[in-house]
């Protein structure tokens, strides 16, 4: 039973290299961002479970007594359970969501309710439990995405940088804390459609597309090698290699057909300032990352962010290789984070 306020955070994630090629058995590198999602668990005496997700406008509550009376036998007892389509349908009945609830909001609520009903009263929080946290996070991903790779939950749990290939995930040792810009073009895209498009292009032009995928794999491996050498004392020439790899990968992804005019604009804006960018994730819009070299003056960074914002994009300055899921004391939080939590 929770007796005091618990503050937990987990990092965001981007794919550094290997988008789309990873679907075809190649290596992908994923890194944790120092842009964190914070969770505050706070006990109440009103007999309700309250869920507040301000970023997507969700504020919902359930009576604890009502939840305890529900038939939740569809949630298997014991270890981590896998949410089936039938289970998700039953969760919808339990959640009591209105018919006009948007898909994103609905899935977020269902993922929370599934995890709450499954793990409620299981208070386990030690280093040894990270694997358990990762497993449960993966099941939450399955509620939302159906058949996720496992990369997102692994990066958020363990932090740092991960290597992913054909279902096998391993951590990169001591990745450097590279500074980047994360830019959201705000152009919506359908990952499934983009992945299918690359597959179709591979079937249509196998002798052209297969070498592209092999080349992207080589870029990921070279980036892994360079990051391993950089350690805590990166050299300027290593940043030059990372910039070249970013440029080559972006051109390859455009050749695969997953680029977008908004991403081209992002690259043009940053290139004009001597910076190098690429899409991250599925492409077709979405987000891009820009490497910030050491010694870059803050006014230059701010000017770049302003130029990207002027394009209608959202832009954040952050670093990669952030810690994984973490517990915080209230006094250790940034004042802006504390203010946001207090406003819930």
Residues tagged active-site:
152
Residues 167, 152: Cα–Cα separation, whole Å: 13
* SS3 of residue 161 by DSSP: strand
d(CA 188, CA 285): 6
Order across the sheet with 326-328: list the strands.
168-171, 161-165, 28-41, 6-17, 326-328
**Nearest residue to 2 (alpha-carbon basis) of 112, 140, 125, 137:** 125
Could you count the other beta carbons within 10 Å of the beta carbon of residue 178? 22
Report the distance separating Cα 89 and Cα 82, nearest Å: 14
DSSP-assigned letter for residue 225 = H
CA distance 11 to 312: 25
Asked whether the beta carbons of 105 and 57 are under 8 A apart, the reply is yes
CB 27 within 8 A of CB 217: yes
CA distances from 56 to 59, 106, 130, 285 (A): 9, 10, 27, 20
Q: Residue 338 in contact with residue 193, Cβ under 8 Å?
A: no
For 283, the 3-state DSSP assignment is coil
* CA 209 – CA 20 distance, rounded (Å): 11
- Distance, CA of 59 to CA of 50 (rounded, Å): 7
Length of the chain: 344
Task: Give CA–CA dist 324/48, Å, rounded.
Answer: 30
Contacts of 343 (CB under 8 A, 6+ apart): 54
């Amino acid at each position: 039973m929770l007796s005091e306020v618990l503050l937990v955070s987990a990092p965001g994630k981007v794919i550094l290299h290997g988008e789309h090629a990873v679907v075809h058995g190649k290596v992908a590198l994923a890194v944790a961002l120092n842009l964190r999602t914070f969770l505050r668990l706070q006990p109440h005496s009103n007999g309700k479970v309250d869920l507040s997700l301000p970023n997507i406008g969700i504020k919902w509550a359930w009576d604890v007594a009502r939840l305890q009376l529900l038939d939740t036998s569809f949630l298997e007892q014991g270890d981590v359970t896998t949410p089936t389509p039938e289970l998700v349908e039953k969760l919808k009945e339990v959640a009591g969501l209105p018919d006009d609830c948007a898909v994103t909001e609905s899935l977020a609520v269902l993922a929370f309710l599934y995890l709450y009903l499954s793990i409620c009263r299981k208070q386990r929080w030690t280093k040894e439990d990270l694997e358990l946290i990762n497993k449960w996070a993966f099941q939450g991903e399955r509620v939302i995405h159906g058949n996720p790779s496992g990369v997102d939950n692994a990066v958020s749990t363990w932090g740092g940088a991960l290597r992913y290939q054909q279902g096998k995930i391993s951590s990169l040792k001591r990745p450097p804390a590279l500074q980047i810009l994360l830019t959201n073009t705000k152009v919506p895209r359908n990952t499934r459609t983009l992945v299918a498009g690359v597959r179709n292009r591979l079937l249509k032009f196998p002798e052209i597309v297969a070498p592209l995928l092999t080349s992207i794999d080589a870029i990921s491996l070279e980036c892994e090698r360079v990051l391993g050498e950089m350690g805590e004392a990166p050299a300027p020439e290593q940043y030059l290699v990372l910039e070249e790899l970013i440029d080559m990968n972006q051109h390859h992804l455009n050749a695969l057909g997953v680029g977008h005019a908004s991403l081209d604009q992002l690259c043009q804006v940053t290139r004009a300032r001597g910076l190098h960018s690429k899409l991250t994730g599925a492409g077709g819009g979405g987000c891009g990352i820009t490497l910030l070299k050491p010694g870059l003056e803050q006014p230059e960074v701010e000017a770049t962010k302003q130029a990207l914002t002027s394009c209608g994009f959202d832009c954040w300055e952050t670093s990669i290789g952030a810690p994984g899921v973490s517990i915080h004391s209230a006094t250790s939080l940034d004042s802006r984070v504390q203010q946001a939590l207090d406003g819930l």
